[in-house]
A and B are shown apart, each in its own frame.
Chain A
Amino acid sequence: MGTSKVLKKDEWLKVIEDLRKGYKVFVPTKEGDFHFFREYKDGIRPDLNFSNTRLSPKGLIYPQSERMFECPLSKDQEGAFILKESPKDFGPQLVVGIRPCDAYGFLIVKRNFDNPQYRDPWWVRRYESTTFVGLGCNEPCPTCFCNAAAGGPFGEEGLDLLMWDLGDEYLIKPITEKGSNLLAKVEGKEAQDGEIKEAESLKKESQKKMDFSFDITPLKNKAQLELFNEPYWEDVAFSCINCGTCTYLCPTCWCFDIQDEVYKNHCDRIRNWDSCMFPLFTLHGSGHNPREKKFQRVRQRFMHKLKYYVDKYGNGIQCSGCGRCVRYCPVNIDIRNVIGLMCG
């Protein structure tokens, strides 16, 4: 996939700035105490000196709220009551500074939105038009467990380019053809042996800092009903307040709602992120609710990520180990403990 290049940090940031001519570029920027991915417009300062963004970047491919269809609602208008796709921009996007866990997260989500039977046209087109430039993690957070859940702090899966922070410089490694083509156009010196060795040792050092690991075999081998009927779910859910923070922040929670909004004589069909933590998520028209109780909803979230997904796709768990749900859960529910229980 071509050779890695090394650029001074300010040179590389200049390259990114110039790439705005061909791409809609997204960069992490600091707002208040936290970092967020924002479109790199004038006035936005990219800041790659961060642990991770507070929200996952899933919204760049899969917006929190997006128009699907629209139509007029008065009989005298042409096309009344016949829904048509809302216009959307699928121009090339470039996401710079995405962490390997979050890029891997998109691959997990892809199995849902792009499967042999159905393809979600919006997710697929936006994903395919996006180039991901990852930033490896020299300093993982105490809540990170990407080494166990995904490809680790310098994992390459899901990325087109991967950046190493070498202090004053970035080493940039091409991963895919898309990334390689982009890097080929960038002026910079080829990475030397010394720099490559330094990058390798940063990766090893970072991996050593993460101490959570687990073996997925028990999740595969135990029957769905066995795990479902375990006595610990009420305990796991005891402190949960069903706030939905975990699902909102999670790069791999993909559930959504569809709602029609009407303004004057115009209808928009809109899809919004939804959460399995909310009782309305499964409430039937009759009033019956298959997941009426809080613990049933908490169990659903973990069973989906750690059992149903595992069974359905045979490709690991539905979690990239980013640790956001652990960090921001207001009542300290830790998915790593739940993995421990389920594997025990």
Chain B
Amino acid sequence: MKNPYLPYPVKIDDIVVETEDKNLKTFKFVFLNPEDEANFKYMPGQFAELSVPGKGEIPIGIASSPTEKGYLTFTVNKVGVVTTFLHNMKVGDIMGIRGPLGNWYPWEEMEGKNVVIIGGGFAFTTLRSSVVYMLHPQNRPKFGKITVVYGARNPGLLLYKQELMEWEKRDDIEMHITVDAADDPNWKYNVGFVPAITEQKVKSSENAYAIVCGPPIMIKFTQPVLEKLGFPPERIILSLENRMKCAIGMCGRCNVGDQFVCKDGPVFSLAKLRTLPPEY
């Protein structure tokens, strides 16, 4: 019987400090056993438990894309016991990863559709995975127009800056990077909150899905904008977070109504969420 609680052993292969406040780091992991890597088949939108023996486990969205072979990346915000310890770990250290866990963005449903990605702050991780996945030459023809609205409080808090700049240069993806405020006179992108920029830049909901990840306040004010644009709630896709332990639907704490965020989610349509108690 496969033990769903047993993490795969991994080694930290690289650590990148993502933000100026140094509160977010991206960890690159490689599997110690090649067969574990083969078993770890995931899709953008899924998460995994990062398992630090002696400290505990944390559920974190997978930031790498399945099109990137040989490693996994996770961007971790320093918040509590495990994340603080992880931030102090070094390249070469051994720990565990348990997953992949949860469902993923509705990739099959979205084939042939336009995709609008809306992200805020450090919730851009599985969205990064999604963009990389869609831009892969094998996948790009499956999707229509790809639009990204991504905002942070200030330029120093944007994740994956180098990649954002590369995407800016491409003609098969429309980028709208924004910050709440910038004191850099050379800032050449947008200034404004994500909902406002979405309203200005996203012109149509026709044949389109919107994937929205960000802080609750951003989601709250982006929803009416999307609905005004004509996105039906079935095509507004959100990813939830709740406290987790088992991450396989057994320990009982992450439920939203009869749905477990860990197993039935974390991805839900707005239509589905409207039928459930708002306990998230």
Interface residue count for B (Cβ, 8 Å)? 45
The answer to whether A255 and B276 have CB atoms under 8 Å apart is no
Residue interface bits B61-96, CB-to-A below 8 A is 1, else 0? 000000000000000000110010000000001111
Hey, which chain B residues are within 8 Å of A232, CB to CB? none
0/1 interface trace, chain A 72-108, chain B, CB 8 Å (1 if under)? 0100000011110100000000000000000000000
CB distance from B103 to the nearest CB of A (A): 11
CB pair A256–B242 under 8 Å, yes or no, is no
Determine whether the beta carbon of B250 is less than 8 Å from that of A112. yes
The answer to whether A118 and B96 touch across the interface, beta carbons within 8 angstroms, is no
B275 contacts A256, C-beta separation under 8 Å: no
Contacting pair A258 B57 (CB below 8 A): yes
Q: Tell me which residues across on chain B come within 8 A of A113, comparing CB atoms.
A: 250
- Chain B residues near A258 (CB-CB < 8 A): 5, 56-57, 245-246, 251
Binds A, one of B146-154, B206-214, B252-260: B252-260
A-B contacts besides A256-B252, A283-B243, 10 pairs, CB < 8 Å: A81-B93, A112-B249, A118-B249, A121-B2, A223-B275, A224-B277, A256-B245, A274-B245, A285-B58, A308-B255
The CB with the most chain B CB atoms within 10 A, among A124, A254, A255, is that of A255
Complex contact B258–A255 (CB within 8 A): no
- B252 x A255 contact (CB < 8 A): yes
Of the candidate stretches A31-39, A191-199, A201-209, A259-267, the one touching chain B is: A259-267
6 A-B pairs with least C-beta separation:
A255-B252, A308-B258, A285-B79, A81-B94, A267-B54, A290-B279
Contact B6 A224 (CB under 8 A): no
Any B CB within 8 A of the CB of A17: no
The answer to whether B51 and A83 touch across the interface, beta carbons within 8 angstroms, is yes
| C-alpha gap A303/B279 in the complex (Å) | 12
Is the CB–CB distance between B253 and A83 below 8 Å?
Answer: no
Interface flag for B141 (CB, 8 Å):
no
- B38 CB–A CB distance under 8 Å: no
Q: For window 192-249 of chain A, which residues contact chain B by CB distance below 8 Å?
A: 223-225, 228
Once the chains bind, are A286 and B79 in contact (CB under 8 Å)?
A: yes
By the criterion CB–CB under 8 Å, are B53 and A225 in contact? no
Closest chain A residue to B215, Cβ basis: A286
* A308, B252: Cα distance in complex, Å: 11
Residues in B neighbouring A83, C-beta threshold 8 A: 6-7, 51, 53, 96
Q: Is B248 an interface residue (CB 8 A)?
A: yes
Contacts of B241 in A (CB 8 A): 284
Within the complex, what minimum Cβ distance (angstroms) separates A231 from chain B? 15
Please report the total number of A residues contacting B with Cβ < 8 Å. Answer: 52
- Write out, one digit per residue, whether chain B residues 1-40 have a CB within 8 A of any chain A CB (1) or not (0): 1111111010000000000000000000000100000000
Q: How far does the alpha carbon of A281 sit from the alpha carbon of B3 in the complex, in Å? A: 24
Q: Find chain B residues with CB under 8 A from A80 CB.
A: 94
Interface of A (DSSP majority class): mixed
| A5 within 8 Å of B (CB atoms) | no
- Report the bound CA distance from A246 to B79 in whole Å: 33
- Our pick among B1, B275, B277, B280 for the contact of A124 (Cβ within 8 Å) is B1
Please report the C-alpha to C-alpha distance between residue A73 and residue B255 in the assembled complex, in whole angstroms. 33
Contacts of B242 in A (CB 8 A): 282, 284, 290
Q: Does A71 contact B (CB under 8 A)?
A: yes
B99 CB to nearest chain A CB (Å): 12
B55 contacts chain A at the CB level, 8 A cutoff: yes
Ordered by A's residue number, 18 sampled pairs between the chains whose C-beta atoms are within 8 Å are: A68-B5, A81-B95, A82-B9, A85-B3, A117-B248, A121-B2, A224-B258, A225-B275, A256-B250, A256-B252, A262-B54, A269-B53, A274-B253, A276-B252, A282-B254, A290-B242, A303-B277, A304-B255
Are A69 and B252 in contact (CB-based, < 8 A)? Answer: no
Q: Give every chain A residue within 8 A of B245 (Cβ-Cβ).
A: 256-258, 274
Chain A hits for B256, CB < 8 A: 290
Shortest CB distance A316–B (Å): 15
Q: How far is the CA of A107 from the CA of B257 in the complex (A)?
A: 22
Smallest Cβ-Cβ distance to A81: which chain B residue: B94
Q: A125-B1, A258-B57, A308-B257 are in contact. Are A291 and B279 (CB under 8 A)?
A: yes
The one of A274, A291, A312 that contacts B251, using a Cβ cutoff of 8 Å: A274
Given contacts A117-B263, A224-B258, contact A255 B251 (CB under 8 A): yes
CB distance from A67 to the nearest CB of B (A): 12
B93 to chain A: which residues have CB within 8 Å? 81
- Bound complex: CA of A260 vs CA of B94, how far in Å? 16
In the assembled complex, A180 has its CB within 8 A of some CB on chain B: no
Residue of B nearest to A283 (CB): B243
Contact of B252 among A228, A254, A269, A296 (CB under 8 A): A254
Complex CA gap A290/B255 in Å reads 10
Residues A73 and B54 in contact, CB atoms below 8 Å apart:
yes
The 8 Å CB contact of B248, one of A81, A118, A291, is A118
* Alpha-carbon distance A83/B257, docked complex (angstroms): 33
Would you call A120 an interface residue if the criterion is a C-beta within 8 Å of the partner chain's C-beta atoms?
Answer: yes
A291 CA to B254 CA, complexed, in Å: 10
What CA separation (Å) do A290 and B9 show in the bound complex?
33
Which residues of chain A have C-beta atoms less than 8 A from B250's C-beta?
112-113, 118, 120, 254, 256
Chain B positions within 8 Å of A303 at CB level: 257, 277
Tell whether, in the assembled complex, residue A260 and residue B53 are in contact, meaning their CB atoms are under 8 Å apart: yes
Q: Is the CB of A260 within 8 A of B56?
A: yes
Q: Which A residue sits closest to B254, measured CB to CB? A: A282
